[in-house]
Amino acid sequence: MNNSYELVPPPAHAMIESLRGVGYSVEAALADIIDNSLAADAKNVRLHFEFAGADSWISILDDGRGMNEPELRRAMTLGGRSPLDTRTSSDLGRFGFGLKTASFAQCRRLTVASKKGGSRAVRRWDLDLIARPDVNDWRLLSEPAPGSEDRLLGLENEDSGTLVLWERMDRLTAGMLSDDRRSEDAFLLMIDRVEQHLGMVFHRFLEGSHPELKIFINGTDARSRVRPWDPFLAWSPATSITPVERIPTANGLVELQGYVLPHKDQLTEEEFREGAGRDGWTSQQGFYVYRNRRLLVAGGWLGLGEPRLWTREEPYKLARLSLEFPNTADEDWEIDIKKSTARPPRVLKARLTALAETVRSQARQVFAHRGAYGKRAPTADLQSAWTVDEAGSGTRYRINRSHPAILLVLEAAGRDQAVVEQALRLIEETVPVQRIWLDTVEKGEIRKEAFAEAPPPELEGIACSLFKHLTTRVGLSPELARQQLLSTDPFQNYPDIINRLVPEAA
């Protein structure tokens, strides 16, 4: 047997430059750093962003367990830990690349200082040094760069912890000038994106009166604290929530739960903006995939759907589902280095699809009926002013001739009833369906439910006319007349008005 071999270590410069192209955004890279803080049992993470044009820098300081010299050396080694290693249930890492690849994607100088047992350890990767033809080796430095020591001082106030420092952020600061207002504005916008992203990714750690983790940006007061973003609006009584479903698998328990969010008409303007999240209502629909309570995927349908794959569409924008699995199932879900994608195992697809179909169907009803069929029970035998005709030639919208208001108009027309019928047909045939759809997609929902603004005296006047017609011409008792109106769109939304109606004095 021939056991001859060659050692072919990758050139350091080429390898690191390739790793820089993994594709981390700034916010995703910072979330990966904070994963390490959580794994170290940190309670507080402080991010500092300093704008200085090309010399801008970012630091991430936590109060976790910290690392000694050997532990820090291992943490700074690429692939220092195998993805096949057994991890604790709180460990959010996987490949042993996160700290390095996330940082290299943003900066050319990565310094990590850590404190444990009263002593401090420092290690630094300098990509410009490694790129030199006379070096081109895995040269890990054991001291901060000249002039950077002051940027590590925050660690001195901690009994233990770790500080990650990004400098020479060539990709983020490309073209930025320290005295240029537009450059500074772009830097500030990046900070806003980071804050939103971290509030979303770690919301389950940040929530509650005694949160497991606090994240601060450029300060330590309440205004500097990152607020959690609950994608499910679980605090709203109008949110419809399915029971938690627990699915045992060979590699751990999968928890699944569906949410149908409230219609815009049932939220304040501020609540509606909050619910839209970072990317807007339509983009935020779908599955929210968690691994050890840390959000990996924020929306989307995970390649599910029958007979065609589901896409993000306006009628389903109120449908969101929570899906959580442990880190023991990483391989099943094909977690990538960035922890930004997850693919459901084949054995779970049927169950995920079934629950998603139910949630999507309910969300579509809430969307179509503007919240009238939300968490409360729908009105039985509701008389709508419009009906939908699913004819072979396509969907058509017809005026409901059985609606009390339409019946009243037709009866009042007498011999001119045919003229009124012609007008109704003209309205039916000229409904601007395409324009309504385009306006809804481009501008969001273009109005609230019928008469929602006041309701105006006009609505009360219509209700009075119909009540009089039902009690005098049709012969219903006042009670039955009120019941019929409460089963008629849009009067079912205004019971106070209907219950005040009384017959006119003779």
The DSSP result for 335-358, as a single string, is: --TTS------HHHHHHHHHHHHH
Residue 84 has a pLDDT of 46
Q: How many CB atoms lie within 10 A of CB 91?
A: 17
Contact 163, 155 (CB under 8 A): yes
Pair of tokens at residue 504: 């006119």
Q: Over 50: is that where the pLDDT of 458 sits?
A: yes
DSSP labels for 229-297? Answer: --TT-TT-TT-EEPPPEEEEETTEEEEEEEEEPPPGGGS-HHHHHHHHTTT-TTTT-EEEEEETTEEEE
Q: Check pLDDT > 70 for residue 8.
A: yes
**Among the listed residues 425, 421, 503, the one whose alpha carbon sits nearest the alpha carbon of residue 466:** 503
Domain 12-223: which CATH number of 1.20.1250.20, 3.40.50.300, 3.30.565.10, 3.30.2130.30: 3.30.565.10
Task: Tokens 């409901």: give the residue.
Answer: 400
- Mean per-residue pLDDT, 218-242: 95
Nearest to residue 109, comparing CAs of 68, 74, 137, 141? 141
Amino acid 339: pLDDT: 66
CA–CA gap between residue 238 and residue 502 (Å, rounded): 32
Q: What is the pLDDT of residue 382?
A: 72
**Is 183's pLDDT higher than 90?**
yes
Given the DSSP bridges, would you call strands 245-249 and 294-298 parallel, antiparallel or unpaired?
Answer: unpaired
User: Is 203 in contact with 229 (CB distance < 8 Å)?
Assistant: yes
pLDDT in tens, 37-79: 999 999 999 999 999 999 999 999 999 999 999 999 999 998 7
Half-sphere exposure of 126 (CA within 13 A, CB side): 14
Q: Residue 461 above 80 pLDDT?
A: yes
The position carrying tokens 């990565």 is 110
The average pLDDT across 427-455 equals 70
The answer, yes or no, to whether residue 379 has pLDDT greater than 70, is no
Round the CA-based radius of gyration of the chain to a whole number and report it. 30
Backbone angles phi, psi at 85, to 5 degrees: -65, 145
pLDDT beyond 80 at 443: no
pTM of the model: 0.76
Residue 189 has pLDDT above 60, yes or no: yes
Q: Give yes or no for residue 317 having a pLDDT over 70.
A: yes
| Contacts for 269-272: CB closer than 8 Å, 24+ residues apart | 271/233, 271/236
Q: Which of 391, 402, 396 is nearest to 489 (CA)?
A: 402
Q: For the segment 387-437, what is each residue's pLDDT rounded down to a tens digit?
A: 887 766 677 888 888 888 888 888 888 888 888 889 888 888 888 877 777
pLDDT confidence of residue 459: 83
Domain ranges of the chain: 12-223, 240-368, 386-499
- pLDDT number for residue 396: 81
pLDDT of residue 233 exceeding 70, the answer is yes
Confidence band, pLDDT 50/70/90 cuts, at residue 378: low
* Per-residue model confidence as pLDDT tens digits over 18-33: 888 877 899 999 999 9
Coil, helix or strand at residue 169: coil
73, 171, 192: which is closest to 122 by C-alpha? 73
Q: In whole angstroms, give the CA distance from residue 216 to residue 390.
A: 55
Instruction: Indicate the pLDDT class of residue 118, thresholds 50, 70 and 90.
Output: confident
Architecture of the domain made up of 240-368: 2-Layer Sandwich (3.30)
Least confident of 22-31, 159-168, 280-289, 438-447: 438-447
Amino acid (one-letter) located at 187: F
pLDDT above 50 (res 93): no
Instruction: Please state the rounded mean pLDDT for residues 439-448.
Output: 62
111-149 burial string, b = 16+ CB within 10 Å, else e?
bbbbbbeeebbbbbbbbebbeeeeeeebeeeeebbeebe
- The model's confidence at residue 445, banded by pLDDT at 50, 70 and 90, is low
Say how far residue 116 (Cα) sits from the centre of its chain: 36
Percent of the chain with pLDDT over 90: 56
Contacts of 394 (CB under 8 A, 6+ apart): none
Determine the length of the chain: 506
Q: Is the pLDDT of residue 94 over 50?
A: no
Taking only the tens place, the pLDDT of each residue in 141-159 is 999 999 999 999 999 989 9
Nearest CA to 256 out of 268, 265, 244 is that of 244
Q: Residue 481 — pLDDT band, cuts 50, 70, 90? A: confident
CA distances from 357 to 296, 298, 348, 351 (A): 22, 18, 14, 10
- Quick one: tokens of 235? 């605090």
Within 8 A by CB and 6+ apart from 234, the residues are 241, 259
Contacts of 141 (CB under 8 A, 6+ apart): 123, 124, 125, 126, 129
The distance in angstroms from the start CA to the end CA of the chain is 114
Mean pLDDT for the stretch of residues 473-485: 87
Report the pLDDT value the prediction gives residue 10, as an integer from 0 to 100: 84
- What pLDDT score was predicted for residue 67? 96
What CA dihedral angle connects 261, 267, 269 and 274, to 10 degrees? -40
Which residue spans within 139-198 are E strands per DSSP?
161-167
Q: Are 64 and 75 in contact (CB under 8 A)?
A: no
Upper half-sphere CA count for residue 130 (Cβ side, 13 Å): 21
- Please give the pLDDT value at position 95: 39
**pLDDT mean over 88-112:** 76
Examine domains 12-223 and 240-368 and report if their fold is the same.
Answer: no
| CB-facing half-sphere around the CA of 434: CA atoms within 13 A | 2
Tell me the pLDDT of the chain averaged across its residues: 87
